[in-house]
A and B are shown apart, each in its own frame.
Chain A
Amino acid sequence: MTSVTDTASSLDQEHHHGPAKGLMRWVLTTNHKDIGSMYLWFSFIMFLTGGAMAMIIRAELFQPGLQIVEPAFFNQMTTMHGLIMVFGAVMPAFVGLANWMIPMMIGAPDMAMPRMNNWSFWILPFAAVMLVSTLFMEGGGPNFGWTFYAPLSTDYSPPSTTFFIFAIHMLGVSSIMGAINIIATILNLRAPGMTMMKMPMFVWTWLITAYLLIAVMPVLAGAVTMMLMDIHFGTSFFNAGGGGDPVLFQHIFWFFGHPEVYIMILPSFGIVSAIIPAFARKPLFGYTSMVYATASIAFLSFIVWAHHMFTVGIPLIGELFFMYATMLIAVPTGVKIFNWVTTMFRGSMTFETPMLFSTAFVVLFTIGGFSGLMLSIAPADFQYHDTYFVVAHFHYVLVPGAIFAIFAACYYWLPKWTGYMYDETLAKVHFWMSFIGMNLTFFPMHFVGLAGMPRRIPDYALQFANFNEMSSIGGFMFGTTQLLFLFIVIKCIRGGAKVEAKPWEGAEGLEWNVPSPAPYHTFTTPPDVK
């Protein structure tokens, strides 16, 4: 059983298995590792861009009153921060990890459709340019929040909204192709003996995430298309004067939006499910239940969307249905938390940086989950809605959830990618600074939120001043620490202590069978999995 890795046209360089040289290596590549690296770097650049916007937001909110930016620009910052972090930072980071790791984890020679893989990536920089360029257009960039509710995003939106819509279309095309590629890879390219129920959890969670992506990105495309038609072609989908309904927009958006937030967390579950067993030196507790819990969460994500809309005026029966359905999600999520804790129980644990981030993930994601449970109670949500409590909630699930898991994954697999161990001391500094900074930023938001501070406002009442000052200090701390992360990664790429194929004592999986750094082509002949 062999595998061909060269085209007919390049048979003359049959024995050339290394990467091509120069810039064109990256532009023309079909190699899953090259593409994975590009996704990760792109995501980090976007993370810093979106982060810089968050710094502007926190600087303005450092004190009550208007100091630094105009309210109109503040709105553009909150909007772009959200959009860039969701579509530019978190999602591409996970796709990058999927590209790097899934073929190695299942013993495949590459992704199933390597050229389309390249296209999925190279759409992103163009989409990002289009999205960010809206800030420099006449009338400013999108200013209606990352959820772009109509009619703010239709009747009252700046002209740059048209380009925002097309940027979303491009991001959607990229995501759908990426997801199709991942599904085809997992279903079709597993090594002999790698049955579905032997796949690493990261592969499982990505398989389910990819289904979510294919199911909801087209719905988002439908939503922005109707926006586009309302803006330019006189239709009235979201205009009650013509028989449409602005609330319809929210339904369509959140039908996409709620699965979308699981798209940003399910791969994290997979990462943490790989790292905790490795550093507890015990197999993952309840693998099968993890798989079914992930699938249940994915299923439930389709029937809870209107819990984002409790205060908009939906019928009582709808409020009740979406309240109970939302609460149900706590069950499979609880199964997962239980399994991670039980995996740690009586393990011989050590706390290298990936484990630190993963442990923090379990604790802090649970906090975010519980505030989500509070928000799911429809009558209580009337108080919490559109306050900083909501901001605190979703930052607790996204920062120590998605972002910490991405950091954990980077530290865990960096030795495999570069062949060198990262600087453990600096990495621990990065962890603790992130941990403290993140909690300092977002924990006080619970309090100001419960006390009634509205979100998306550049000014606030005096009694919120102290907590906001704390949040801003924490935010600056978290933000600057990420430059340290950049330094650690570059240092690790340039050298350090050489590592063996398996640098982590308790790590499991096919990726640790190949040398570190992983050769340019791995598993051109599928391995036999017992």
Chain B
Amino acid sequence: MATEGTYYVPAQSKWPIIASIGLFLTLLGAGMMMNDMTAGVKDSSAHYVFYAGGLIMAWMLFGWFGNVIQESRAGLYSAQMDRTFRWGMFWFIFSEVMFFAALFGTLFYVRVLAVPWLAGEGEGAMTHEMLWPDFTASWPLMVNPDNDLFVGAADVVDPFHLPLLNTLLLVASSITLTLAHHALRANDRYKIKLWLILTLVLGTAFLFFQVEEYIEAYNELGLTLSAGIYGSTFFLLTGFHGAHVTLGAIMLAVMLVRVYQGHFEADNHFAFEAASWYWHFVDVVWVGLFIFVYLI
């Protein structure tokens, strides 16, 4: 509710249309690349479209966020504007929660219903009889119903090896980020940088080990995207989580740069808070992943 101060309504901006063009080219390029890949086109030039779109998007992000930061530092934003940003970030994260809900829902549906049905349980008795009478259910699913088309994985990812390490890394990074936030509120510039850098190191280490795990999965476990539903859900969930960690790390890196430039005050630093909300969100998603994808 409008209570105090002024509400800032910006004049015209070129960034949204640039963003639309960038998004269009990025997705057009991605689509062309995928179609060319599946059709086996050799000398595809689709990636140029994709890169052009990506560059435009990057330029737009710098410009648009740059604008917002300038306006914020020029004191144009009121407390009411601050609430707008908070609502905006909160509901954006909620939309991300729903995206992951769809992915987790897929995992639960497959594990609890689809695979047992294929093995003849409950409603699936006839399906089992008619299609794959030899199929037996298990999770992780190592032998697929049509194991010639989708060659199952040879082995399971050991949760107490890299995944446990990654859990510790990511949970620790949430703690160090909170310490950075406390330092920011106490206006201890040295400690902000210290804890923020440590958070970034932990996040990057997480991503490094995640890549390592993928390499092991492909090379040693035979766990691939086409290894049936176990591989499909494994890479879907961990892959999109990894992409979100990457995005969160980029946000935190920007915050670090801004800290070095002397931005943020003890009582006014929503950009930092937004980035940390996001980071805690990807951390919570990981805990869910660790339990449901790796552990049980």
Contact of B114 among A113, A188, A248 (CB under 8 A): A248
Contact residues, A69-126 vs B (CB, 8 A): 107-110, 112-116, 118-119, 122-123, 125-126
Residue of A with least CB distance to B2: A526
**Complex Cα spacing A114 to B13, Å:** 9
CB-defined contacts of A18 to chain B, threshold 8 Å: none
CB-defined contacts of B39 to chain A, threshold 8 Å: 159
CB-defined contacts of B91 to chain A, threshold 8 Å: 179-180, 183-184, 214
- Mark contacts of A150-188 with chain B using CB atoms, 8 A cut-off: 1 yes-contact digit, 0 otherwise: 000000000100110110011001001001110110011
**Complex Cα spacing A127 to B27, Å:** 10
CB-defined contacts of A334 to chain B, threshold 8 Å: none
- Whether B123 contacts A314 by the Cβ 8 Å rule is yes
Residue of A with least CB distance to B20: A122
Q: How far is the CB of B89 from chain A (nearest CB, A)?
A: 9
Binds A, one of B145-153, B264-272, B288-296: B145-153
Provided the pairs A188-B80, A222-B103, A244-B232 are in contact, do residues A214 and B87 lie with their beta carbons within 8 angstroms?
no
B187 interfacial contact with A, CB 8 Å? no
Residue of A with least CB distance to B4: A1
**Complex Cα spacing A191 to B113, Å:** 51
CB-defined contacts of A248 to chain B, threshold 8 Å: 106, 109-110, 114
B219 interfacial contact with A, CB 8 Å? no
The interface size bin for chain A is 35 or more
Contact of A109 among B7, B13, B122 (CB under 8 A): B7
**Complex Cα spacing A123 to B202, Å:** 36
CB-defined contacts of A524 to chain B, threshold 8 Å: 9
B61 interfacial contact with A, CB 8 Å? no
Chain A interface SS verdict (over half): helix
A29 interfacial contact with B, CB 8 Å? yes
- Mark contacts of A206-227 with chain B using CB atoms, 8 A cut-off: 1 yes-contact digit, 0 otherwise: 0000000011111101110110
- Whether A162 contacts B16 by the Cβ 8 Å rule is no
Contact of A3 among B7, B37, B71, B87 (CB under 8 A): B7
- Whether A223 contacts B102 by the Cβ 8 Å rule is yes
B258 interfacial contact with A, CB 8 Å? no
- Whether A242 contacts B150 by the Cβ 8 Å rule is yes
Binds A, one of B161-169, B170-178, B208-216, B223-231: B223-231
A339 interfacial contact with B, CB 8 Å? no
Number of residue pairs A-B, CB distance < 8 angstroms: 257
CB-defined contacts of A4 to chain B, threshold 8 Å: 6-9, 76
CB-defined contacts of A20 to chain B, threshold 8 Å: 12
Chain B interface SS verdict (over half): helix
Residue of A with least CB distance to B89: A180
A237 interfacial contact with B, CB 8 Å? yes
Contact residues, A1-29 vs B (CB, 8 A): 1-10, 20, 24-25, 27-29
**Complex Cα spacing A184 to B88, Å:** 6
B21 interfacial contact with A, CB 8 Å? yes
- Whether B9 contacts A126 by the Cβ 8 Å rule is no
**Complex Cα spacing A110 to B2, Å:** 12
Residue of B with least CB distance to A217: B95
CB-defined contacts of B115 to chain A, threshold 8 Å: 243
A508 interfacial contact with B, CB 8 Å? no
- Whether A242 contacts B17 by the Cβ 8 Å rule is no
Contact of A119 among B20, B95, B149 (CB under 8 A): B20
CB-defined contacts of B11 to chain A, threshold 8 Å: 5-7, 9-10, 30
B3 interfacial contact with A, CB 8 Å? yes
B96 interfacial contact with A, CB 8 Å? yes
CB-defined contacts of B251 to chain A, threshold 8 Å: none
B14 interfacial contact with A, CB 8 Å? yes
**Complex Cα spacing A25 to B19, Å:** 17
A115-B15, A162-B34, A232-B34 are known; give 17 further A-B pairs, CB within 8 A: A1-B6, A25-B12, A115-B10, A129-B24, A184-B84, A219-B98, A226-B236, A229-B225, A231-B34, A235-B235, A240-B114, A241-B144, A241-B150, A243-B150, A243-B228, A255-B102, A313-B123
- Which residues on A are within 8 Å of B, measured CB to CB? 1-10, 20, 24-25, 27-30, 107-110, 112-116, 118-119, 122-123, 125-127, 129-130, 159, 162-163, 165-166, 169-170, 173, 176, 179-181, 183-184, 187-192, 194, 214-219, 221-223, 225-226, 228-229, 231-237, 239-245, 247-248, 251-252, 255, 313-315, 521, 524, 526
Give 9 pairs: A residue, B residue, CB < 8 Å, sorted on A. A3-B6, A192-B3, A214-B98, A235-B235, A237-B233, A237-B236, A240-B114, A243-B118, A244-B232
- Which residues on B are within 8 Å of A, measured CB to CB? 1-4, 6-17, 19-21, 23-24, 27-28, 30-31, 34-35, 37-39, 64, 70-71, 74, 76, 80, 83-84, 87-88, 91-92, 94-96, 98-99, 101-103, 105-106, 109-110, 113-115, 117-118, 122-123, 127, 131, 141, 144-146, 149-150, 224-226, 228-233, 235-236
